Chains A and B, each alone.
Chain A
Amino acid sequence: MDIKTLMTDILPFLAVGAVATVKITILAVLLGFVIGLFFGLMRLSRNKLLSSIARLYISLIRGTPLLVQIFFVYFGLPKATGLNIDAFVAATSTLGVNAGAYIAEIVRAGIQSIEKGQMEAARSLGMTHFQAMRYVIWPQAFKRIVPPLGNQFIITLKDSSLLSVITVEELVRKGQIKISTTFAAFEIWALVGIMYWIMVLVISQWVNWTEERLKAGDH
């Protein structure tokens, strides 16, 4: 395979897949963060019902393979409900719901790591539980949550490759398509790998930078 084909044909083709991968990952992590925040707080709730629901969700997601979750949503649910789901929507939401369970645990651990005296001091000043969470606990917990959250971002990015099995045209799927016509398996898988690697490096740089910036407030 000559360099020219690689640069003008294969690379642009894969780049389209990489953009899709980034898009899916960002949407999934955003969805996962909202779900994770919600269920992380539910998990900590004194209300037995709420915390049990959160516990069940986290256990179910963490206890089953992502591939099974993808098949279940894309092939299983339409069979049961009669409604067809768009592959992109099914992919993004499954990945988001999956990340949400892990992020819920990250949020829970972050909040629980804040010393009990902080909540007591805030409450003793007359703050409601919500105010104490909002102004005292959460800003401190968030700083601790950033590194594991960045980690989850990277995991979700790599997990998105599994979506190729339901024909979502992300990076891996694009690679497969191109190989089927060019048979350049070595070059293309190497390129796909490198593109993931670059994306991961960018994310970890961004996380480090955010961490540093948050640390600037610490003394």
Chain B
Amino acid sequence: MIIKVQDLYKNFGSLEVLKGINCSIKEQEVVVVIGPSGSGKSTFLRCLNKLEEPTSGTVIIDGYDITDPNTDINYVRQEVGMVFQRFNLFPHKTVLENVTLAPIKVRNMQKDEAEKKAIELLKKVGLEDKANAYPSQLSGGQQQRVAIARALAMRPKIMLFDEPTSALDPEMVGEVLAVMKQLAREGMTMVVVTHEMGFAREVGDRVIFMDNGQIVEEGTPKEIFSNAQNPRTQSFLSKIL
């Protein structure tokens, strides 16, 4: 198990956002997390690289207990790439610099080696011709593909996606999902919070339905989409499918 979450609780002040999450994820597994807004799915994802500090419980990533204050979280985060809803590219840096910054500064990679690797990754997401552009010169879909390349440049073992297509115009959703599908085919361990049910059905090994801070139901896409057992899952799916 590359990810192991036990009794994860997260409060924001008096608001309980996560109420006891238990979940294990295998290497190379693609897990899609769905649920209504406010169900805690993004918070759950952000606890997996400690962008949110869990209130209690344990999160073990590739053998490192990141809830232990003695764990070097900066080291573990190098193994866990994250893609954000709002891309969060660095606007003062070119596309190439966005991708090479962390490998150079964090992994101490040589600049030319990092750039070579970055060009390969930009090719992979179909944007090698944009290497010297600035993020603001790109469309949303292109920015998100750069963000994926930036995360992959650290050679992570796990990729987290936090509603990666929610801020995109509809015609750009496909290009981002295509990159994610390719990544899944190559065997990347992925946790994806999304409203793209087509993606969940096609690419997901497992679908987790969250509501009100808890995992209500989980199973293969087939089990969840065609044969949901829990009435809350059924009601959610009936509204969006």
B82 within 8 A of A: yes
Q: Which residue of A has the minimal Cβ distance to B82? A: A124
A2 within 8 A of B: no
On whether A125 and B78 interact (CB within 8 A), knowing A131-B105, A135-B105, A219-B137, the answer reads: yes
Report whether B90 and A120 are in contact in the complex, using a CB–CB cutoff of 8 Å: no
On whether A126 and B102 interact (CB within 8 A), knowing A140-B91, A217-B92, the answer reads: yes
CA distance A195 to B39 in the complex (A): 65
B150 within 8 A of A: yes
A185 to chain B, nearest CB (A): 52
Write the B111-140 contact mask toward A (1 if CB under 8 angstroms, else 0): 000000000000000000000011011000
Write the B162-195 contact mask toward A (1 if CB under 8 angstroms, else 0): 0000000000000000000000000000000000
Q: Collect the chain B residues with CB atoms within 8 Å of residue A126's CB.
A: 74-75, 77-78, 102, 106-107, 154
> Quick one: which of A122, A125, A139 has the most chain B CB within 10 A?
A125
Report whether B151 and A125 are in contact in the complex, using a CB–CB cutoff of 8 Å: yes
A111 to chain B, nearest CB (A): 14
B101 within 8 A of A: yes
> Quick one: which of A120, A122, A126 has the most chain B CB within 10 A?
A126
Q: Collect the chain A residues with CB atoms within 8 Å of residue B136's CB.
A: 218-219
Name the interface residues of A111-141: CB closer than 8 Å to any CB of B.
Answer: 115, 117-118, 120-128, 131, 135-136, 139-140
B110 within 8 A of A: no
B84 within 8 A of A: yes
Q: Collect the chain B residues with CB atoms within 8 Å of residue A139's CB.
A: 92
B236 to chain A, nearest CB (A): 28
Majority secondary structure, A binding face: helix
Report whether B102 and A127 are in contact in the complex, using a CB–CB cutoff of 8 Å: yes
Report whether A124 and B77 are in contact in the complex, using a CB–CB cutoff of 8 Å: yes
Report whether A127 and B106 are in contact in the complex, using a CB–CB cutoff of 8 Å: yes
CA distance A143 to B90 in the complex (A): 14
CA distance A120 to B51 in the complex (A): 7
Interface size on A, residues (CB 8 A): 21
On whether A120 and B101 interact (CB within 8 A), knowing A126-B154, A128-B74, the answer reads: no
A122 to chain B, nearest CB (A): 8
Name the interface residues of B27-48: CB closer than 8 Å to any CB of A.
Answer: none
B81 within 8 A of A: yes
Report whether A118 and B90 are in contact in the complex, using a CB–CB cutoff of 8 Å: yes
Q: Collect the chain B residues with CB atoms within 8 Å of residue A125's CB.
A: 77-78, 81, 101-102, 106, 150-151, 154
Q: Which residue of A has the minimal Cβ distance to B150? A: A125
Q: Collect the chain A residues with CB atoms within 8 Å of residue B233's CB.
A: none
Write the A128-161 contact mask toward B (1 if CB under 8 angstroms, else 0): 1001000110011001000000000000000000
Q: Collect the chain B residues with CB atoms within 8 Å of residue A219's CB.
A: 133-134, 136-137
CA distance A136 to B88 in the complex (A): 11
CA distance A2 to B101 in the complex (A): 65
B49 within 8 A of A: yes
Report whether A117 and B151 are in contact in the complex, using a CB–CB cutoff of 8 Å: no
B86 within 8 A of A: yes
Q: Collect the chain B residues with CB atoms within 8 Å of residue A121's CB.
A: 82, 84, 88-90, 147
Q: Collect the chain A residues with CB atoms within 8 Å of residue B133's CB.
A: 219
Q: Collect the chain A residues with CB atoms within 8 Å of residue B151's CB.
A: 124-125
Q: Collect the chain B residues with CB atoms within 8 Å of residue A124's CB.
A: 49, 51, 77, 80-82, 151
CA distance A139 to B84 in the complex (A): 21
B227 to chain A, nearest CB (A): 36
Report whether B105 and A120 are in contact in the complex, using a CB–CB cutoff of 8 Å: no
Write the B150-162 contact mask toward A (1 if CB under 8 angstroms, else 0): 1100100000000
The 3 closest A-B pairs by CB, nearest first: A126-B78, A121-B88, A125-B102
Chain B residues within CB distance 8 Å of chain A: 49, 51, 74-75, 77-78, 80-82, 84, 86, 88-92, 101-102, 105-107, 133-134, 136-137, 147, 150-151, 154
